[in-house]
């Protein structure tokens, strides 16, 4: 069980992922993020590539006294200024290695992030030191103390850390945290940012930390639940483990952390999603949302923060995306088109902290301003037609009249991917086609007035639905002379 005082909402909207940070220079990216912040609102944003060449922090400078490191903050300032302007804070991930500091040539992704240890640890530490000090200069120490600093990404994979060399990673973590704490002991540093499947790293890392008395302010891990892929030319297809599988992963890691004596440590899932592939069409579908509904509803009891990977299809790990819908991670597709998972997060934002009822398909809450908000979902991995699911929401309030607003995501509503299919899957849709698709990125809204203490709701396959329930007073009698029956045809 998690130990921190993060509320449910804070855990769910803790952070959101982005491809590499350099993409944040782009206009399309920033428009998406602005809309996400307005309609959802995350606290942090985490992405790769802080030290990558496209941001270009590490450079060398010829001067009269020879060649010296030169730290260029032109681009990272532009990015972080904008983040803070739209009220999202950086969750720093230190990596990958600047080419000039790298010990070897191995890279990951289309954009070639160097995944090797530094050729000289002291040069790396100088880079980290100069960068963090610059952030403090520009944004103030009080601000930077609120930015978690994570060392590297998935060192347990050869793709991301040369030879997945555990000792080399521990050494990197060790030197990095020491260097940061020398600047200010209240800066928060954590790791090891491992992905699932190597949880012995949890014990190994915590043992190392204890043994060497290394500071550690939070623990991070990633979580995906897709089974092995069927790879076709341009796509990955994967079935998914049940949602409970992800919950089990989280609980198990939390337990390991506690057992190592770190029950005080916050535990952040700094990446998660159904599939870990940016060309898996599941991300564009309704099933992605209905699957994650069940995860997000229950996970706050195990972890202190999630970071959905990623908020936008502006993403280049496999190169420039080849079509409007291409299986990208984004909650939001190009042209600001909102996928079902975007709305799932938007729905969660409407929930209150007080839980009135909860089961595997429903979460009923009360908000501070007196609304009842209720999320329902009907996830299934069965193919073909599936029975509808009927749920009953009990309204315990004394009032007998309620206004109910239903926001429904179904195969035919709030499903722009389907509209795109109906338009013949245009790769590079025209303005007219984009307009037609965008018109369908909104849930279907239905409203009603009910009398009585409960409400029955029927969900179609994979439907995700938000109810907003407001007790009302009927003022009809206060209108002198009002009589709708006198209107033509009423």
Closest distance between a second copy and the C-beta of residue 127, in Å? 15
Q: Does 228 bind a second copy (CB under 8 A)?
A: no
Stretch that binds a second copy, among 6-14, 54-62, 179-187, 250-258 (CB under 8 A): 54-62
Using CB under 8 A, which residues numbered 429 to 458 contact a second copy? 430-432, 436, 439-440, 442, 444-449
Residue 166 or 225 with smaller CB distance to a second copy? 225
Closest distance between a second copy and the C-beta of residue 449, in Å? 4
| 210, 261 contact by CB (below 8 A) | yes
Q: Does 244 bind a second copy (CB under 8 A)?
A: no
Cα–Cα distance for residue pair 226/277, rounded to 1 Å: 9
Q: How many CA atoms lie within 13 A of 478 on its CB side?
A: 3
Stretch that binds a second copy, among 120-128, 208-216, 233-241, 247-255 (CB under 8 A): 233-241
Using CB under 8 A, which residues numbered 64 to 123 contact a second copy? 64, 70, 72-75, 77-78, 81-82
Cα–Cα distance for residue pair 162/205, rounded to 1 Å: 17
Catalytic residue among 154, 271, 317, 463: 154
Q: Does 368 bind a second copy (CB under 8 A)?
A: no
Using CB under 8 A, which residues numbered 311 to 330 contact a second copy? 319-323
Binding mask 266-305 for a second copy (x = CB under 8 A): ---------------xx--x-x---x--------------
- Which residues have CB under 8 Å from 231's CB, separation 6+? 237
Q: Does 466 bind a second copy (CB under 8 A)?
A: no
Using CB under 8 A, which residues numbered 126 to 185 contact a second copy? 134, 138
- One DSSP character per residue, 403-428 reads EEEEEEEBTTBS-HHHHHHHTT--SS
Q: Does 240 bind a second copy (CB under 8 A)?
A: yes
Cα–Cα distance for residue pair 76/54, rounded to 1 Å: 10
Cα–Cα distance for residue pair 245/310, rounded to 1 Å: 21
Closest distance between a second copy and the C-beta of residue 369, in Å? 7
Strands (E), 240-292: 267-273
Is 154 among the residues known to form the active site? yes
Q: Is 261 left (phi over 0), alpha (psi -120 to 50) or beta?
A: left
Q: Does 249 bind a second copy (CB under 8 A)?
A: no
Strands (E), 371-475: 372-377, 389-394, 401-409, 444-451, 454-459, 464-471
Kindly determine how many residues on this chain lie close enough to bind a second copy according to the rule CB under 8 A.
99
Residues recognised as catalytic: 154
């Amino acid at each position: 069980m998690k130990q921190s005082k993060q509320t449910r909402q804070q855990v769910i909207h803790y952070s959101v992922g982005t491809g590499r940070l350099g993409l944040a220079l782009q206009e399309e990216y920033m428009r998406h993020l602005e809309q996400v912040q307005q309609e959802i609102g995350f606290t942090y944003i985490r992405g790769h590539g802080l030290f990558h060449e496209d941001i270009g922090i590490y450079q060398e400078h010829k001067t009269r006294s020879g060649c010296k490191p030169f730290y260029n903050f032109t681009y990272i300032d532009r990015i972080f200024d904008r983040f803070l302007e739209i009220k999202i804070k950086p969750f720093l991930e230190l990596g990958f290695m600047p080419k000039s500091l790298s010990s070897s040539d191995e890279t990951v992704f289309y954009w070639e992030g160097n995944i090797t240890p530094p050729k000289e640890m002291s040069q790396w530490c100088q880079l980290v030191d100069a960068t963090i000090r610059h952030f403090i200069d520009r944004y103030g120490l009080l601000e930077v103390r609120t930015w978690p600093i994570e060392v590297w990404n998935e060192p347990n994979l050869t793709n991301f850390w040369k030879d997945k060399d555990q000792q080399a990673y521990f050494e990197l973590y060790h030197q990095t945290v020491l260097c940061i704490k020398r600047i200010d002991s209240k800066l928060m540093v954590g790791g090891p940012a491992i992905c699932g499947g190597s949880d012995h790293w949890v014990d190994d890392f915590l043992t190392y930390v204890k043994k060497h008395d290394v500071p550690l302010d939070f623990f991070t891990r990633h979580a995906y639940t897709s089974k092995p892929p069927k790879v076709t030319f341009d796509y990955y297809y994967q079935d998914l483990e049940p949602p409970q599988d992800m919950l089990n992963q989280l609980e198990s890691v939390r337990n390991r952390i506690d057992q190592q004596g770190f029950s005080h440590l916050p535990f952040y899932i700094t990446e998660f999603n159904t599939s870990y592939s940016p060309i898996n069409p599941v991300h564009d579908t309704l099933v992605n949302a209905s699957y994650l509904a069940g995860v997000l509803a229950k996970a706050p009891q195990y972890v202190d923060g999630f970071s959905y990977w990623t908020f936008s299809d502006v993403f280049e790990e496999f190169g420039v995306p080849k079509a409007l819908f291409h299986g990208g991670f984004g909650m939001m597709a190009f042209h600001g088109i909102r996928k079902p998972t975007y709305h799932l997060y938007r729905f969660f934002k409407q929930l209150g902290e007080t839980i009135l009822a909860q089961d595997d398909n429903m979460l009923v809450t009360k908000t501070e301003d007196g609304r009842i908000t209720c999320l329902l979902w009907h996830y299934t991995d069965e193919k073909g037609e599936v029975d509808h699911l009927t749920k009953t929401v009990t309204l315990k309030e004394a009032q007998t009249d309620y206004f109910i607003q239903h926001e429904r995501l179904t195969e035919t509503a709030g499903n722009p991917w389907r509209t795109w299919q109906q338009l013949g899957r245009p790769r590079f849709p025209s303005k007219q086609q984009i307009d037609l698709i965008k018109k369908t990125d909104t849930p279907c809204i239905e409203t009603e007035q009910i009398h009585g203490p409960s409400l029955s709701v029927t969900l179609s396959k994979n439907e995700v639905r938000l109810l907003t329930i407001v007790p009302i007073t009927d003022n009809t009698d206060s209108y002198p002379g009002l009589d709708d029956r006198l209107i033509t045809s009423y």
